[in-house]
Structure 1
Amino acid sequence: MGSDVAAFIGYTRHALELAQDQIVTITPDSHEVINFDGSPAEGKRFEVTWDASAAEKGGYDSFMAKEIAEQPHAVGDTLLGRTKDDGELVLDELRISEDQLKNVNRITFVACGTAAYSSLVAKYAIEHWTRIPVDVVLAHEFRYSDPIVDERTLVVSVSQSGETMDTLMAVKHAKDLGALTLSICNTQGATIPRESDAVLYTHAGPEVAVASTKAFLAQITAAYLLGLYLAQLRGGTFADDAKAVMTELREMPEKIQEVLDRMDRVIEMANFMADTRSVLFLGRHVGFPIALEGALKLKEIAYIHAEGFAAGELKHGPIALIEPGQPVFVIVPSPDTPHELHKKVVSNIQEIRARGARTLVIAHDGDEDVEPFASEIIRVPQCSPLMAPLLTVIPLQVFALHLAMAKGLDADQPRNLAKSVTVE
C-alpha cells in the first residue's frame, strides 16, 4: 500500500484518480468504483509519465543521494515548456482566468515542513516582484487561526505528495471561505490538486527518500513561476522585471550542477563531525528559510539538535548558545543584496567567531569579506539575491546526508517519519 505513484510505477503507468469518499473494488479482470452511498462512480484515468527506473537508486548509495544529484534536472524540468520564445510565461494549466488573478490582492501559502520553508523563500520573491502581500501559514494551524481570506485571496498549497492531510484540510477550509486555491504539487492525480481550483505541477520525478531535497528546489522554482506570472499580468515594469528574472532562472540548473561538483570538502567536514551533538544555522532575508531547512535536514536524518535562526536575532538571545567549538553554518547573502545585509551578516560571523564558534560559511564566489572570520568557506556561484536559495541549500543537504551516513544511519528511512503524512 502506498500514497504515492512511486509505489506502483514498477508495475504499471496507468492510474485512476478517485475522489473523496469513493471506494474501488479490483478483481483480476476489472475494477468498479462506487461512491460512499453505493451509487456508481467514474474515476479519472491518467498515465504516469515517470519511468520505472526513476524509483530505483541507479547506483547511488541512497535515494537521498540520487535525488540531491537530480536537482539540476528537477529545476530544469519544472521550467520546461512554460515560456514562449520571447520569454513570456505561459501557465495554461492554472485553470484560473487572468481576470481572477489580476483581482488577487493577497496570497496565503499553506504548507508543512520543508514545503513551508520553500513557501517562506517564495514570500520574499513574490512580494518583491508583484507588491502583493504574502503570508505563509503552517497548514495545521490555518483552520484554527480564524484566517482572513476572501474571494480576492489566492491560497497556495505546497505539498510534494499532494496527500498531506493537514494541507488538504487547509485547502478545503480556504474554499469554504471563498478563496481561490492553487496547488503546487509533484504528484499527478493527487488529492490536493484535485480539490484545488488550479494546479502548478513540479516535474521533479519521484522523490523516495523521506527527507525532501529535489522537491524543495522544484517547489521554489514553481512558486517563482507563479510570482513572475502574476508580475507579468500586472504589466509595465513588473512585466519587464519578470522577463529579466526568467532569463536568470533558466541559468540556474547549470549553476546547481556546479555546486554539486564542489561538494568534496563538505563531505569531508560531515565525516569528521560525526560526533557533533548540536549545529546552529544563521541566515538573513531568503537565507533565513534556508537556515531553517538546513536545521530540519539534520534533525530528520542525523537525529541531532539543530536550530535555524534569523541572524539578526542573535543579539536577542540565541548568542548565549555560542561556546567554544560550537559549529555554526552561516548563509551569507550576495554582496549586492540591498540594505547592507551582506555587511551585517559578516558582522554576525565576526561576533560568533570571537566567542569561539566554528564558523562554516556559505558564500558567493569572490566574496573576500568573509575570509578573516570563517573556519570553513563553502563557495557557490554568483547569482542575484533571490536566486541564491537554489544554490545555498545544497551544501546543507549534502552535509546532513553524509553526517547521517558517518553515524551509520539510514538516510532514506529516518525513524518515526513517513514520506507522506496522511493523518492530522
Structure 2
Amino acid sequence: MKIDLYMHEQPKLLASLPTAIGDILSRLSTLAVKPERLVLVGTGSSMNALIAAATALEQATGALVTFKEPEAFLHLPPRPSAAPTLVIAVSQSGRSTSTVEAVRLSVSLGFPTLAIVGDDGSPLAETGADIVLMPIGEELAGPKTKGYTASVLSLLAVASHLGGKPLETSGLEAALDIALAQSDKAAQWLLSTYGIPDYIQVAGQHGHVGSALEASLKIAEITGVPTAGFDIEEALHGHVYGTTDRSLVLIIARDAAEAKVAANLGRALTALGPRLAVCNLSDEPTPYDLAIDWPAVPESWADATWALFPFQWYAWHVARAKGMEQPGMIYPNLGKQLNVKIRPVVV
C-alpha cells in the first residue's frame, strides 16, 4: 500500500482509537496505581512519540519523567525505588531488537511495564509486559505515518486514563479529514513556492519537540534531503545559523507565545535569505502560517497527534518531485543490514 493511502486512513483511525483501547487500559494492572516515576523507552519514531506525549503524561501524573533509548536502558536500567514506577515502551512493529530486550529486562527486574505495539504477533507482545495493541492494521511502508500518530494518541489515552480525564473525540474524524486535505495543499504550496531545499530544519517546543524530531525523521527517510529537528530554544541559540538562502525552516507553534516567537524568527531570518513557514496550531496568526484549520479540542496537547499531517505530505510530495513514483524509505534495505529489527520467520 502507498504511503498516501496510509495517511488517508488516519482521521477515522484516530477518532476511534481512544474508545477502541479504553477497555484494555481499564483492565491493566500496570495502570492501577498512579506512578511517581515514569521511564519512557523507545527509539526512532517510537521515541519521538514518547517525547510528544511526555508533557501530557507528566501533567496527568505529576511523575518524574525520564527517557531511555533501549540500549541505554540495557546499559543502565532504573534503580529500584520506593516511588511507584511505570516503564512505558513503544514499538509500532514490535520487532525493534533493542526495545524487545529492554522490555524483557524491565519485566525481569520487576518493574510494572506497559508496551504499546501495533502487532500482537510480534516478539514485543511476548515479553510478559502488559500490552496495548493499537488497532492500526498493517503499515508495510518503512516510514511510519498512521503508526506514529496512533502511537502518540495511544500514549495520550494512557495519560488521560491515569489522570482520570477521558479523551473527547466527538466530531474529530470530520475535523481531521479537513485538516488532512488542507495539509496536503499546504505541502504542495511549500514545494511549488520554495522548490527542493538544500536543508530543512524543523523546530517545536514541549511536546512538539517530538513532533519536530518526527517531522525531520520522516522527511529525511523518505526524501533524502538533509533535515534536522530541534527544540525552538535550541534552534534560536545557534542551529538556524546552519541555513542558507536555499534552506527551509519549519516552526510548530502551539500557543500565542510560541506563534510570536515564530513570527519574530521569520522576520529576522527571511530578511537574510532562508525561507520559513509556520505550522500554527494557535489562535495567534503570523505572516508565515500554513493554511490549515486544525481541530479544536479541550486538551491542547492532543494536537501532538495530528501536527505531523503537513510534514507527512511534504515528504511525500518532495520525494515524488525527486522522481520517486511510490515514495518509501530512500535506503529500503539499510535497516535490515544494520540488524535493527527482529525479522518474522518466512515459511
Query: If the TM-score is normalised by the length of the shorter chain, which range does it land in?
Result: 0.7 to 0.9
CA contact (8 A) 1:162 1:190 kept: yes
From 94, 113, 116, give the equivalent of 1:162.
94
Instruction: Choose which of 263, 267, 277 in structure 2 pairs with 1:346.
Output: 263
1:381 aligned partner, one-letter code? W
- Aligned equivalent of 2:25, options 56, 74, 91: 91
Residue 189 (structure 1) shift: 2.5
**Contact in 2 for aligned 1:286/1:386 (Cα 8 Å):** yes
Secondary structure of the corresponding residue to residue 306 of structure 2: helix
1:76 counterpart letter in structure 2: A
Which residue matches 1:302?
Answer: 223
Q: Distance in 1 between matches of 2:263 and 2:36?
A: 36
- Is 2:205 the partner of 1:284? yes
CA drift of 1:251 comes to 4.2
Unmatched 5+ stretches in structure 2: none
Equivalent residues of 2:118, 2:147 under 8 A apart: yes
Q: What is the aligned partner in structure 1 of residue 48 from structure 2?
A: 117
Give distance in 1, aligned partners of 2:197 and 2:259. Answer: 28
Question: How is 1:313-324 mapped onto 2 (pairs within 5 angstroms)?
Answer: 313-324=234-245
Shift of 1:117: 0.4
1:334-359 deviation digits (Å, cap 9, x = unpaired) = 33xxxx34433333333323332211
| CA distance in 2 between partners of 1:287 and 1:92 (Å) | 28
Asked whether 1:422 is paired with 2:338, we answer: no
| Residue deviations 1:56-84 (CA, integer Å, cap 9, x gap) | x3xxxxx211111111122133223455x
The verdict on how the C-alpha distance between 1:109 and 1:366 changes in structure 2, with shifts beyond 3 A counting, is: closer
Could you tell me how far apart the structure 1 residues matched to 2:31 and 2:281 are? Answer: 40
Task: Give the C-alpha shift of residue 255 in structure 1.
Answer: 2.5
Instruction: Describe the SS at the equivalent of 2:280.
Output: strand
Tell me which of the two structures has the higher relative contact order, counting C-alpha pairs closer than 8 angstroms and 6 or more residues apart.
2
Kindly, what percent of the aligned residue pairs are identical? 22
- Paired residues in the alignment total 335
In structure 2, how many angstroms separate the alpha carbons of the residues matched to 1:196 and 1:355? 55
Aligned: 1:377 with 2:290: yes
Question: Where does the alignment leave 5 or more consecutive residues of structure 1 unmatched?
Answer: 1-56, 58-62, 84-88, 233-241
Q: Distance in 1 between matches of 2:47 and 2:223?
A: 21
Q: What is the TM-score with the length of structure 2 in the denominator?
A: 0.87
Match of 2:177 in 1: 257
**Secondary structure of the equivalent of 1:282?**
strand
Give 1:86's aligned residue. Answer: none
TM-score by length of 1: 0.72
Q: What is the alpha-carbon distance in structure 2 between the residues aligned to residue 264 and residue 97 of structure 1?
A: 41
Q: How does 1:2-401 map to 2 (within 5 A)?
A: 57=1, 63-82=2-21, 91-96=25-30, 98=32, 101-102=33-34, 104-150=35-81, 152-232=84-164, 242-243=165-166, 246-247=167-168, 249-262=169-182, 263-270=184-191, 275-335=196-256, 340-364=257-281, 366-368=283-285, 370-371=286-287, 374=288, 377-383=290-296, 384-401=299-316
Q: Deviations over 1:96-144 (max 9, x none)?
A: 472xx23x32111111101110000111111112211222221222212
> Which amino acid in the other structure matches residue 128 of structure 2?
S
In structure 2, C-alpha distance between the alignment counterparts of 1:129 and 1:345, rounded to whole Å: 28
